């Protein structure tokens, strides 16, 4: 059995589209949908139940990217766990089969699929997703901490598949504001497993971030980076080089594809993302009140000291 786990908060019509897309999948195994609903106020739980999903409702303050997905895994009955987001949906009925097939290979800890922007998305978001999730398959390995990078640990729970038994041994971290998927990727890679990117398993998923929202999202990403793709000192320098390469590539892509009027916006947008990432990576130097203002998840920061103290 395959269990598709979806964390939900006021999913609306996006959630309906997501589950309907899952229900249309052509796959040889039985499929169940497990929804963990964070006290939605828009009837999301009822919508999910009407479409055949198993629904567990939790208080909104209990939501955590890692812990909520771990809870979904514990409630799931399938030996294969698939994670997706309420605002993502498969582009065809072969997504689930393509996503889960590589798990049959020995040593594969997880598979993640391609994300393409929703129709009508802004060009910078289209480029961002094409840059991260292009058309070529790849296998990611990292035997030593110094081999961990944003590229080797790239893994996304927007569309991912993991063996249940392995996730129970390597659960998602429950003390990160986000990037629980990349932190998990780093741990399983160092344990000797490999990750597979399957570009034929495609979902549509993107966000119409404002410049301010993009800054906050990347602040949270930077705050999580030390546990995922920036665990070694030289990673910050590598990240700056990667950002420069990314910016040059985006500029060329915008020019080549007739989006030249977007170049000034893209320059400001990417600068905001990079500034957020850099500030987030230095969050330990910032006062708690400022972190709450800079974060897309301000309530997390009130819980963080207690969690870290408990782990110590």
Distance between CA atoms of residues 139 and 136, nearest Å: 10
Q: Do 7 and 147 share a structural domain? A: yes
| Integer Rg of the chain from CA | 19
Q: Of 169, 204, 239, which residue sits at a domain end?
A: 204
My answer on whether 87 and 176 are in the same domain is: yes
Based on the domain organization, do 39 and 176 belong to the same domain? yes
What is the rounded distance in angstroms from the CA atom of residue 39 to the CA atom of residue 23? Answer: 24
Is residue 118 located within the same domain as residue 167?
Answer: yes
Q: E strands within 60-158?
A: 80-84, 89-90, 108-116, 138-140
Q: What's 157's domain CATH number? A: 3.90.550.10
Domain count within the chain: 2
pLDDT at residue 241 in the model: 79
Range of the domain at 13: 2-204
The one-digit pLDDT tens for each residue of the chain (312 residues) are: 999 999 999 999 999 999 999 999 999 999 999 999 999 999 999 999 999 999 999 999 889 999 999 999 999 999 999 999 999 999 999 999 999 999 999 999 999 999 999 999 999 999 999 999 999 999 999 989 888 888 999 999 999 999 999 999 999 999 999 999 999 999 999 999 999 999 999 999 999 999 999 999 999 998 988 887 765 555 566 677 788 899 999 999 999 999 999 999 999 999 999 999 889 988 999 999 999 999 999 988 877 443 433 333
CA separation, residue 143 to residues 140, 147, 193 (Å) = 10, 7, 9
Buried b (16+ CB within 10 A) or exposed e, 76-111: bebebbbbbbbbbbbeeeebbbbbbbbbeeeebbbb
Domain termination residue (choose one: 173, 204, 235):
204
Q: β-strand 54-57 against 31-37: which pairing, if any?
A: parallel
Q: Is residue 11 part of a domain?
A: yes
Inter-axis angle of helices 123-132 and 235-256, nearest 10? 130
pLDDT at 267: 96
Residue 308 belongs to some domain of the structure: no
pLDDT of amino acid 146: 84
Whether 305 maps to a domain, the answer reads no
How many CA atoms, within 13 angstroms, populate the side-chain half-sphere of residue 179? 25
- Same domain, residue pair 194 and 59: yes
Residue 81 bridge partners (DSSP): 3, 162
Question: Residue 106 contacts by C-beta under 8 Å, 6 or more apart in sequence?
Answer: none
| Chain centroid offset of residue 152 CA | 15
Residue with tokens 């390597």: 170
For residue 208, give both structure tokens: 């119409």
Instruction: Point out the domain boundary residue: 185, 204, 223.
Output: 204
Q: What is the pTM of this model?
A: 0.92
């Amino acid at each position: 059995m395959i269990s598709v786990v979806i964390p939900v908060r006021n999913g609306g019509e996006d959630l309906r589209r997501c589950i309907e897309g899952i229900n249309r999948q052509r796959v040889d195994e039985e499929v169940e949908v497990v929804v963990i609903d964070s006290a939605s106020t828009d009837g999301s739980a009822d919508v999910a139940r009407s479409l055949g999903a198993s629904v567990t409702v939790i208080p909104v303050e209990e939501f955590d990217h890692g812990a909520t997905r771990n809870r979904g895994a514990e409630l799931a009955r399938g030996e294969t766990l698939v994670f997706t987001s309420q605002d993502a949906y498969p582009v065809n009925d072969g997504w689930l089969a393509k996503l889960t097939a590589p798990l049959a290979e020995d040593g594969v800890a997880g598979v993640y699929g391609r994300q393409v922007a929703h129709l009508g998305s802004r060009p910078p978001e289209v480029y961002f997703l094409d840059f991260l999730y292009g058309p070529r398959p790849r296998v990611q390995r990292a035997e030593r901490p110094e081999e961990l990078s944003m590229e080797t640990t790239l893994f996304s729970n927007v569309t991912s598949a993991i063996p249940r038994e392995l996730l129970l041994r390597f659960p998602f971290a429950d003390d990160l504001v986000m990037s629980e998927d990349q932190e998990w990727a780093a741990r399983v890679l160092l344990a000797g497993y490999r990750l597979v990117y399957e570009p034929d398993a495609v979902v549509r998923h993107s966000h119409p971030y404002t410049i301010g929202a993009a800054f906050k999202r990347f602040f949270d990403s930077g705050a999580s980076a030390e546990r995922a793709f920036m665990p070694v000192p030289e990673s910050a320098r590598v990240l700056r080089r990667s950002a420069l390469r990314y910016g040059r590539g985006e500029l060329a892509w915008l020019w080549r594809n007739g989006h030249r009027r977007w170049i000034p916006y893209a320059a400001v947008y990417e600068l905001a993302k990079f500034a957020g990432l850099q500030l987030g990576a230095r969050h330990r130097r910032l006062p708690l009140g400022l972190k709450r203002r800079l974060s897309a998840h301000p309530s997390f920061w009130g819980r963080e000291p207690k969690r870290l103290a408990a782990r110590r």
